[in-house]
Amino acid sequence: MRPAGNAEDASIMTRRIDDRVCVLDATGDLDVHSASNLKAAIDACIGDQMHHLVVNLSGVSFIDSSGLGVFVRAFKTLQEVGGSLAVINPNPQVVKLLSITNLASVIPSYADEASALKAVT
């Protein structure tokens, strides 16, 4: 559980790499109050027919079940359209969370953007 008053709302910057690939740079906390920011950015990319997404988590310090739910939903949606989802630069706590929830087995994690982009395209 996160102590009250320490939360920082998530901010999402979207970068279109090409007609099929989008990188989302997330910062702050992905929690019940801010996971909708990531969901909206993912939905916008998918709506623009960009079906290969990379989420940069280097600026994310905390993810709760709401944030995880966004990743599960995005994975399922992208899988249905032949797309892919990857994350880069997750901190050790996020890596542990992805592993415990078994999301690490379906959403690959990479140390750098170049490796992730090569894998999703």
* Domain-located, residue 38: yes
Does the residue 20 lie in any domain? Answer: yes
pLDDT tens, position by position, 29-54:
999 999 999 999 999 999 999 999 99
pLDDT in tens, 101-120: 999 999 999 999 999 999 99
Bridge pairing between strands 109-110 and 84-88: parallel
Domain membership of residue 111 as a residue range? 11-120
Asked whether residue 3 is domain-assigned, the answer is no
Q: Domain with 104 in it: what CATH number?
A: 3.30.750.24
Considering the domain boundaries, does residue 62 fall inside one?
Answer: yes
Is 6 among the domain residues? no
In a domain, 97, yes or no: yes
15 sits in which H/E element = strand 11-16
Contacts of 32 (CB under 8 A, 6+ apart): 64, 66
Instruction: Centre a 10 Å sphere on the Cβ of residue 61 and count the other Cβ atoms it contains.
Output: 16
- 61, two tokens: 């310090």
Tell me the pTM. Answer: 0.91
What confidence tens digit (pLDDT) does each residue in 48-85 have? 999 999 999 999 999 999 999 999 999 999 999 999 99
In a domain, 5, yes or no: no
**Domain total of the chain:** 1
- Within a domain: residue 2? no
